[in-house]
Amino acid sequence: MATRVADKLVDINKSLPPDVFAEAVYNRSKLVNATIATVEKNLIEGALLVIVILFLLLGNIRAALITAAVIPITMLMTASGMNALGVSGNLMSLGALDFGLIVDGAVIIVENALRRLAERQEHEGRLLTLDERMSETIDAAKEMVRPTVFGQLIIFLVFVPLLTFQGVEGKTFAPMATTLMLALASAFVLSITFVPAMIAIVVSGKVSETEVKPIRWFKEKYAPLLDKAVARPVPFVAAGAGIFFAAVLAFGLLGEEFMPQLDEKDITVTNFRVPSASIDQSTQMQLQIENALKTLPEVELVFSKNGNADLGTDPMPPNSSDTYVIPKPESEWPAEVTSKEDILRRIEERMKPLIGNRTEIQQPIQMRFNELIAGVRADVAVKLYGDDLEAMSEQARRIAGVLRGIPGAGDVSAEQTDGAPTFDVKIDRQAAARYGLSVEEVANTVSAALGGREAGLLFEGDRRFAVVVRLPDAQRDDVETLGSIPVMLPAADGQVAGSIPLREVARFSYTQGLNQISRENGKRMVVVQVNVRGRDLGGFVEEAQKAIGQMQLPSGMYTEWGGTFESLQSARLRLMLVVPICFLAIYALLYMALGGFIPAAIVFSAVPMALAGGVFALLLRGIPFSITAAVGFIALSGVAVLNGLVMMSAIGKHREDGASEDDAIIGGAMERVRPVLMTALVASLGFVPMALATGTGAEVQRPLATVVIGGLITSTALTLLVLPAITALAARWRSSRKKARSQPLEP
């Protein structure tokens, strides 16, 4: 592959050996290897953290091993499904996998089975037989299968919006949703088949009813707060509502972008010269750029491509060049260079003294990605439509001036519609009329001189070729020679009356003509493009739209916005439509699981509480909202609802056993402390390596991991305190209504 790509590029310097040049192009594929290495590292570290938490909190080595065994088996089943569906393993498909999410269902089953086995051993006063262990394990699985099934269905539902994306965002995030669903489905099947069977067979010794020390310590601190939440629920409910509304306000402070910018390591410097520049002139200017950039000590290799490549999908005029800058490893950078932004700044400084170049600095894949989305290489494109090209070019320059004044604007440029060298021939109609010549006769003479005229045919067997006579190239470029070409004067009898020089009836000159005319949807178009640096894309576009909206465009002109902002806007609109529908479906599932509107609403209240933590986490880390972060919010909603469903099911079971309302709430909450803590901890700690990673591709995973970790912190706290408080408040409201209905009406 590297060799084929190398064939498409032109090393204009000619100083690089073929093998070195091919290796430089091959560096592009190293990006793929680096991202996969980052994903593998994060998955392995996340799995180790999950296993450590299982060992610490379950208090049973064999049970922890059984739960941990779900991870590799799930990955094998997921890989088989990906292979069957044609989904490749890459940064997007594997980057959102969290083994904590995968083992959540197994954790709930294992924890409940251990609790029941310990209680049965305590009751029998001896070790249990295999039949007794199987009976208890089956009952434990049955007891939790309802919340587990509905919880997994809910998690499936929250990922449905990703499958509704279309266009670029659909191609990007559909593999992620497919992989997550395959992993969750595989883990769910294992949690209700493999896990109970292994618990019954393997956990044969004494099962301690005493919980591990961290859980006991947490319960000691949690119990007094739970009593207060049930006794006085209003302050806790108000605190939860206040946190949510604070998160709504904080969300307005977050920036927006389609996807975090992936650091490709390599840099592309695209240079544009005046349209009249020849390929030789462009090559000489490009050599100056190469020599200037190679003086940077942090740069390992520089090579370029001039003009159009062999690929028809990459049209570039001779006055354009792509320069590929390959930096050295960070360990070899000089002391004054600490980041890639420093390299970009130093490249810009090297480019400033080189006049005659309009420069755009991006990354190779980023550039192509932008070009595929909107037909331009920049992050944002302002498309100006109209009919008068000259007036449109003037307005485009005004728009470019406005964009340059907005913070974060880089490489602002308006599409150049003129400047191409044109040989202009103007026929003097009055002079031609005096000589009795028509415009057509003069034009035919010019056409014959420049384009040639057929003078006969040449036969080779059964093939024939036209013989065209025209001036040599050197004479066609000479205005004096063209002017001396004779034009035959017609006589009254149809004969030739003589001749005059062509210069008598025509004027020759070199002028600056149109360089290109771009069209879209049947309208002429001029594009102003800009790269966004040092700030979020959504905030920049919002500010730019306000500034350009204040401009008074002439009648018949209008603007549209393009670039990666289009994908962000499309995905955001799609989420605004699909997510409410999915939330309604989730509420319906909760109603079916809990058998009432109020319990379903109580569990569903965990969603906004969880989202609040994700917003605060993004704000604290200075990460803008992106579609990757939206995936984190989606996953977070599923885990929050699952935890709430588990706790509400336990509270309902205590009610069925005859406990009072407050005792049922307290008993159910205390009983479900360990599974709630474990599911939250394994899910959040599984994302910690992604949140802290710095390798290639970590930029894409970081927002998702940050959202899940921050959201689970608030979700767990609010599930353990606010959900019981809301349940107690709802119980008292129902009780007061019953009392009001039971009291006789006064006469």
Q: What is the pLDDT of residues 646-682, one digit of tens each?
A: 788 888 888 888 888 888 888 888 888 887 888 778 8
C-alpha distances (whole Å) from 746 to each of 275, 740, 742, 743 are 95, 12, 12, 9
> What's the token pair of residue 368?
């192509």
What pLDDT is recorded for position 7? Answer: 38
The residues near 671 (Cβ < 8 Å, ≥ 6 apart) are 650, 654
Long-range contacts of 165-171 (CB under 8 A, 24+ apart): 165/570, 165/571, 165/574, 166/570, 166/574, 167/567, 167/570, 168/372, 168/373, 168/567, 169/258, 169/567, 169/570, 169/571, 169/574, 169/627
Q: How far is CA 322 from the centre of its chain?
A: 25
Q: What is the mean pLDDT of residues 480-506?
A: 78
> What's the token pair of residue 293?
């950039």
If pLDDT is split at 50, 70 and 90, which confidence band does 292 have? confident
What pLDDT is recorded for position 2? Answer: 34
The residues near 160 (Cβ < 8 Å, ≥ 6 apart) are 177, 578, 582
What pLDDT is recorded for position 744? Answer: 56
Distance of alpha carbon 646 from alpha carbon 641, whole angstroms: 9
State the burial class of residue 657 (Cβ atoms within 10 Å of its Cβ: 0-12, 13-18, 19+).
exposed
Q: What is the mean pLDDT of residues 603-608?
A: 82
Q: Provide the 10 A C-beta neighbour count for residue 734.
A: 12
What pLDDT is recorded for position 10? Answer: 47
What pLDDT is recorded for position 111? Answer: 80
Distance of alpha carbon 478 from alpha carbon 163, whole angstroms: 64
pLDDT digits (tens, 9 = 90+) for 510-529: 776 666 777 777 788 888 88
Q: What is the mean pLDDT of residues 57-65?
A: 80
Give backbone dihedrals phi and psi of 202, rounded to 5 degrees, phi first: -90, -40
If pLDDT is split at 50, 70 and 90, which confidence band does 30 have? low
C-alpha distances (whole Å) from 151 to each of 448, 455, 587, 608 are 81, 85, 12, 17
Q: What one-character DSSP code corresponds to residue 625?
A: B
Q: What percent of the chain is modeled with pLDDT above 90?
A: 0
If pLDDT is split at 50, 70 and 90, which confidence band does 20 have? very low
The residues near 477 (Cβ < 8 Å, ≥ 6 apart) are none
Q: What is the mean pLDDT of residues 17-40?
A: 59
Q: Provide the 10 A C-beta neighbour count for residue 698.
A: 24
Q: Provide the 10 A C-beta neighbour count for residue 314.
A: 13
For each of the domains in the chain, give its residue range(s) and CATH number, in order of start.
Answer: 2-253+595-739 (1.20.1640.10), 267-362 (3.30.70.1430), 428-511 (3.30.2090.10)
Q: What sections of 203-278 are H helices per DSSP? A: 213-231, 233-251
Distance of alpha carbon 360 from alpha carbon 271, whole angstroms: 7
Q: What is the mean pLDDT of residues 684-695?
A: 79
- Angle, helices 606-621 vs 597-604, to 10°: value is 10
> What's the token pair of residue 383?
């498309």
If pLDDT is split at 50, 70 and 90, which confidence band does 19 have? very low
Residue with tokens 């569903």: 604
Distance of alpha carbon 196 from alpha carbon 136, whole angstroms: 10
Q: What is the mean pLDDT of residues 212-239?
A: 86
State the chain's mean pLDDT as an integer.
Answer: 79
- HEC profile of 33-102: HHHHHHHHHHHHHHHHHHHHHHHHHHCCHHHHHHHHHHHHHHHHHHHHHHHHHCCCCCHHHHHCCCHHHH
If pLDDT is split at 50, 70 and 90, which confidence band does 315 have? low
Please name the amino acid found at residue 623.
I
Q: At CA 723, angle to CA 719 and CA 726, rounded to 5?
A: 160
pLDDT at residue 9 greater than cutoff 50: no
Give backbone dihedrals phi and psi of 471, rounded to 5 degrees, phi first: -70, 150
Q: What is the mean pLDDT of residues 53-72?
A: 82
Q: Count CA atoms closer than 13 A to 235's CA, side-chain side.
A: 8
What pLDDT is recorded for position 432? Answer: 83
Q: What is the mean pLDDT of residues 227-240?
A: 88
Q: Which of 123-132, 250-259, 695-704, 721-730 has the highest mean pLDDT?
A: 721-730
Q: What percent of the chain is modeled with pLDDT above 70?
A: 89
What pLDDT is recorded for position 5? Answer: 36
What pLDDT is recorded for position 23? Answer: 44
pLDDT digits (tens, 9 = 90+) for 340-379: 888 888 888 888 887 777 787 888 777 777 676 666 777 7
Distance of alpha carbon 103 from alpha carbon 74, whole angstroms: 9
State the burial class of residue 522 (Cβ atoms within 10 Å of its Cβ: 0-12, 13-18, 19+).
exposed
Q: What sections of 550-694 are H helices per DSSP? A: 564-594, 597-604, 606-621, 627-656, 661-671, 673-692
More confident residue, 407 or 208: 407
User: Bridge-partner residues for 526, per DSSP?
Assistant: 384
If pLDDT is split at 50, 70 and 90, which confidence band does 711 have? confident
What pLDDT is recorded for position 47? Answer: 79
The enclosing H or E element of 392 equals: helix 389-404
DSSP string spanning 403-416? HHTSTTEEEEEE--
Distance of alpha carbon 562 from alpha carbon 559, whole angstroms: 10
The residues near 621 (Cβ < 8 Å, ≥ 6 apart) are 706
Distance of alpha carbon 48 from alpha carbon 40, whole angstroms: 12
pLDDT at residue 741 greater than cutoff 50: yes
Contact 115, 210 (CB under 8 A): no
Buried b (16+ CB within 10 A) or exposed e, 221-235: ebeeebeebbeebee
First to last CA, the chain: 93
What pLDDT is recorded for position 375? Answer: 67
If pLDDT is split at 50, 70 and 90, which confidence band does 29 have? low
Q: Count CA atoms closer than 13 A to 405's CA, side-chain side.
A: 9
**Closest CA relative to residue 154, chosen from 593, 740, 614, 573:** 593
Q: At CA 547, angle to CA 545 and CA 549, rounded to 5?
A: 65
Distance of alpha carbon 217 from alpha carbon 677, whole angstroms: 13
pLDDT digits (tens, 9 = 90+) for 247-256: 888 888 887 8
Q: What is the mean pLDDT of residues 292-305?
A: 85
pLDDT at residue 509 greater than cutoff 70: yes
What pLDDT is recorded for position 277? Answer: 73
Contact 379, 530 (CB under 8 A): yes
Coil vs helix vs strand at 370: helix
The residues near 15 (Cβ < 8 Å, ≥ 6 apart) are none
Q: Which of 81-85, 167-171, 546-550, 741-745 has the lowest mean pLDDT?
A: 741-745
Q: What is the mean pLDDT of residues 642-646?
A: 79
Q: What one-character DSSP code corresponds to residue 276?
A: T
pLDDT at residue 24 greater than cutoff 50: no
Contact 152, 184 (CB under 8 A): yes
